[in-house]
Amino acid sequence: MRYFIHLSFNGTNYHGWQIQKNAPGVQAFVQEALSRILGNATAVTGCGRTDAGVHARDFRAHFNYSDNPLDCDLLTYKVNAILPQDIHINGIFPVPENLHARFHATGRTYRYFIRTTKEPFLKEFSAAPGTYADKLPDMELMNHAAALLVGTHDFTSFAKLHSTTKTNICTVTEAFWFTTVPEFAIEPLWVFQVTANRFLRDMVRCMVGTLLEIGKKKKPVEWILQLITEKNRSFAGYSVPAEGLFLWEVTYDTFKQ
């Protein structure tokens, strides 16, 4: 029987979701905890990779278990008791045998958070003011530019070089900036939200860096179209730090949980 795991993690201390040879990955901790409780080696497949230091509010994974049906609430409790404090299982539930956490995900939403001032409570989960220098960028310009990212394009200019990905074509369904003020924040956070069917390595962080260049009026809005046409990473903006990036939501057409 196949089960889905809904989890969240603070990526600060990890080199992404995926198992690494010489560095900690979230996947290894989840697999180890499940295997220990279930009494046999249990492979866990995630909905995708994440870069080192990137967080996940909504991450999905699946595993198979062939014995008696599991008490999912009890299993969730036991796994959380073993996992580090920065990894939390929100729920485990049965799904159809053929449902795949990665290949059947139809949408992924990322959010990138930027502090607009010194924030003692948000340092670990948002990029520093230095990300955009001393002067706030023009959000209206950045939103005009972000709108040009929407659609099905070759995002080679926004992908990390030397990637083994077979295709760099992705379909972006939304891309925009907004502000939000958490209760414990001093000033509003600037947030970039982007949703697509798939993402390339470093793609969101490069998008943010590129849009900030436009917001600082170093480049025109139309630069986005040029980058899409050029298909050359060296032409795009810088890649912003990982700590401000969250995998915010993963969606599936077949179910909502």
* Dihedral, 172, 131, 224, 189 alpha carbons, nearest 10: 50
Which residue, among 108, 93, 78, has the nearest Cα to 6 in the 3D structure?
Answer: 93
CA distance 90 to 73: 10
Q: Is 51 a catalytic residue?
A: yes
Residues 6+ apart with CB under 8 A from 235: 157, 226, 227
Residues 6+ apart with CB under 8 A from 50: 11, 16, 17, 18, 26, 56, 59, 247
Task: Name the β-bridge partners of 252.
Answer: 105
* Dihedral, 223, 229, 232, 238 alpha carbons, nearest 10: 20
Catalytic residue, chosen from 51, 86, 134, 138, is 51
Residues with a known catalytic role: 51
